[in-house]
Amino acid sequence: MGIIKRAGILYEKPRTGSQIMGLFTLCCYNRAMKNRPIAKNTLIALIILSLFSLPVFAESVTNLYKTVVPVSGQGSGERLRAMRVGLGKVLVKVTGNSQVLSKVNGADAFSNAERYVTEYGYISYQNLLADGTSSSPGIAMSLSFDESSINRLLRQYQLQIWPSDRPGLLVWIVIDDPVRGKRFVSDETMPNTVAALQELMDDRGAPLVLPLLDLQDRQAVSEDDVWNFNQVRLADASKRYNTQAWLALRLYQSATGHWRGARMLNLNGDGNLTSLVASNVSELMGKVVPEAIDSLASQYAYVANAVDEELFIQIENINDYQAFSQATTYIASLEVVHRLTVDYVDADRLGLRLFVEGEVPLLLDTLRRDKRMAELVNTSIPASETSSPEHGTSSPELEISSPELESVAPSVATSTSSTISRHRFRWGGQ
């Protein structure tokens, strides 16, 4: 279980609004006592805030530890096979690497895959990827795996981790129809193709963004622009979707009946072009998605470090319990953050010391992509503000850590306050 530590006292990691409210009150009470004239008003405000239960909002991909595996029956042998396949699919989804199974081939985890399963059941299932036509529904096993156990497995084998805060991939598709000519692929024009694409993306835990193809899109980019991979027009049209990655795909059916295509994947302005051939559209999509998602995930994934790196951030515009709760809960939920401590709450400023198990630039990129966080540039935080609080004069230090990480190999931060990277953000994105 994660802990909160202050002056040798251990607290349970806050999981409810009332617990976080208590910590926030403790910080602000200490701060208020330094200014007795305003202490009364501060405490009254905190009492009022404690009467409300406020929701916490987080942007992240869900169901990373769940998957579906088609089965031929409900026997014990088929069930164990499905659990092994399901474990592999979850590892691919969580790591963002379609080749991850080659790194754990023959691992004990797969011979005992059932120990990682927390829940399973049988559902009706239709394989949209078998071919381009519909078929009779079969059955599949719906599986849920234990998050903590999977995370320990990732660190045991030093596998990359793709955090759940994942950018969406915008996909533009144009097909050259011998009768209708070039046209955009959408739910209206080719619903089976879009459904197959969505299933492939869901299997990888990758958010799919489909263009609206409304008047604004069609004024910004045409079918020919996508077909010819006009990066300038595509980049301009993609801006409205607020994503750093887009994929352009063109496809057509040759005289031999095979489907041919090419795709351009653009990641942060760098385009990559690849040609493809398949027997049907679904198979072609099955070749496009794994390669594209592997490339996308590699931009944001990390391998857990043996030693944490320390980072200090000051968040401004923290004016009430709601902002305090949302900001601290969001940052503590990021996989790359091993643990954090609250250094101080002063006026509208919140000082957090983060212990990061991955690369600090990756964490900063994640924070910058969140619409609620606006980085304040050309500012600096004096080292004195990030030094350890003196007993009796500063806010109590509150520590939040992740239980599944401590059970593997607790990291030890070795940074000193003079070498800690410092950054300022404003909560609310204003």
Full pLDDT tens readout for the chain, 430 residues: 333 333 222 223 344 455 555 555 555 544 554 444 444 444 444 433 333 333 333 348 999 999 999 999 999 999 999 999 999 999 999 999 999 998 887 677 888 999 999 999 999 998 887 754 556 789 999 999 999 999 999 999 999 999 999 999 999 999 998 888 999 999 999 998 999 999 999 999 999 999 999 999 999 999 999 999 999 999 999 999 988 899 999 999 998 999 999 999 999 777 788 999 999 998 999 999 999 999 999 999 999 988 889 999 999 999 999 999 999 999 998 999 989 999 999 989 999 999 999 889 989 988 998 889 999 986 556 555 555 444 333 444 455 544 443 433 333 444 444 477 899 999 985 4
Give me the amino acid identity at 358: G
DSSP 61: -
Q: Are residues 279 and 208 in the same domain?
A: yes
Query: Is 387 domain-assigned?
Result: yes
What CA–CA distance (Å, rounded) separates 126 from 135?
A: 7
Give pLDDT, residue 154.
93
Q: Are residues 324 and 407 in the same domain?
A: yes
Q: Are residues 123 and 215 in the same domain?
A: no
Q: Are residues 149 and 212 in the same domain?
A: no
Domain count, the chain: 3
Q: Are residues 194 and 271 in the same domain?
A: yes
Which residue among 98, 129, 156 closes a domain? Answer: 156
Q: Are residues 181 and 249 in the same domain?
A: yes
Query: Is 162 domain-assigned?
Result: no
Q: Are residues 243 and 331 in the same domain?
A: no
What CA–CA distance (Å, rounded) separates 41 from 56?
A: 26
Q: How far, rounded to the nearest angstrom, does the alpha carbon of residue 330 sit from its chain's CA centroid?
A: 12
Which residue among 265, 298, 331 closes a domain? Answer: 298
Query: Is 371 domain-assigned?
Result: yes
Q: Are residues 124 and 41 in the same domain?
A: no
How many alpha carbons lie under 13 Å from residue 394 in its C-beta half-sphere?
Answer: 18
Which residue among 239, 271, 298 closes a domain? Answer: 298
Residue matched to tokens 């209708």: 180
Q: Are residues 264 and 361 in the same domain?
A: no
**Which range of residues forms the domain containing residue 220?**
169-298
* pLDDT tens for each residue of 109-165: 888 999 999 999 999 998 887 754 556 789 999 999 999 999 999 999 999 999 999
What CA–CA distance (Å, rounded) separates 89 from 346?
A: 46
* pLDDT tens for each residue of 160-193: 999 999 999 999 999 998 888 999 999 999 998 9
Give pLDDT, residue 243.
85
Query: Is 218 domain-assigned?
Result: yes
Residue matched to tokens 């078929």: 135
Query: Is 183 domain-assigned?
Result: yes
Cβ atoms 217, 170 nearer than 8 A: no
